[in-house]
């Protein structure tokens, strides 16, 4: 029996990492985050805090479990992040009146100002991306990603 080292074995082989969806999603995301992180570093704010800020601004007083889901964060991370952001005066937290386990988070004026300060740059980046990537492909990609999010394996 000659050893077959790089051939298909009974267990088979994996796809090339070039066609691995998790890796491709990660690599694509890095393309976007590099300039975005640079933009946010001016305000000493992480990409996670930026996501939280946007979600809270978008959906008004909102409970933490919902923020976590929409900003793709786990609750333990969110706890720490909210504490820091509240200390920085970007957010407000108040415990619920009916159910005192819940707390509702809303954006402060300072938080709104921080968003305003980055809107122009953010939209510029988006426009540049749309130009280089193509509006058609952009929308198609967003549609496919939205479809993928809904799948449960």
Residues within the interface to DNA (CB under 7 A): 33, 37, 41, 46-49, 63-65, 73-84, 98-103
In the complex, the smallest distance separating the C-beta of residue 24 from DNA, rounded to whole angstroms, is: 16
* Paired tokens of 61: 């007083």
Reference 96, options 61, 58, 54; nearest CA is 61
Q: Which of 7, 16, 44, 97 binds a copy of itself (CB under 8 A)?
A: 16
Q: How far apart are CA 22 and CA 101, in angstroms?
A: 36
Q: How far apart are CA 128 and CA 133, in angstroms?
A: 8
Helices (H), 45-152: 47-58, 64-71, 75-87, 109-133, 135-150
The site string for a copy of itself over 84-123 (x = CB under 8 A, - otherwise) reads -------------------------------xx--xx-xx
Q: Which residues contact 26 (CB under 8 A, 6 or more apart)?
A: none
- Residues, the chain: 153
75 binds a copy of itself (CB under 8 A): no
Contacts (CB under 8 A) with a copy of itself, residues 28-47: 28-36, 47
The site for a copy of itself (CB under 8 A) is made up of 9, 11-36, 47, 51, 54-55, 58, 70-72, 115-116, 119-120, 122-123, 125-126, 128-129, 132-133, 137-138, 140-142, 144-153
């Amino acid at each position: 029996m000659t050893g077959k080292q790089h051939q298909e074995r009974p267990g088979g082989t994996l796809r090339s990492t070039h066609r691995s969806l998790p890796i491709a999603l990660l690599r694509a995301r890095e393309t976007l985050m590099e300039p975005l992180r640079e933009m946010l570093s001016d305000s000493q704010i992480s990409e996670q805090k930026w996501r939280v800020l946007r979600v809270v601004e978008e959906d008004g007083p909102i409970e933490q479990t919902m923020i976590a889901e929409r900003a793709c964060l786990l609750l333990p991370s969110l706890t720490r992040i909210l504490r820091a952001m509240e200390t920085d005066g970007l957010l407000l937290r108040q415990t619920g009146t009916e159910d005192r386990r819940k707390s509702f988070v809303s954006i402060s004026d300072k938080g709104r100002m921080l968003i305003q300060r980055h809107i122009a740059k953010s939209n510029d980046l988006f426009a540049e991306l749309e130009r280089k990537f193509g509006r058609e492909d952009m929308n198609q990609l967003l549609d496919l990603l939205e479809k993928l999010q809904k799948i449960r394996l």
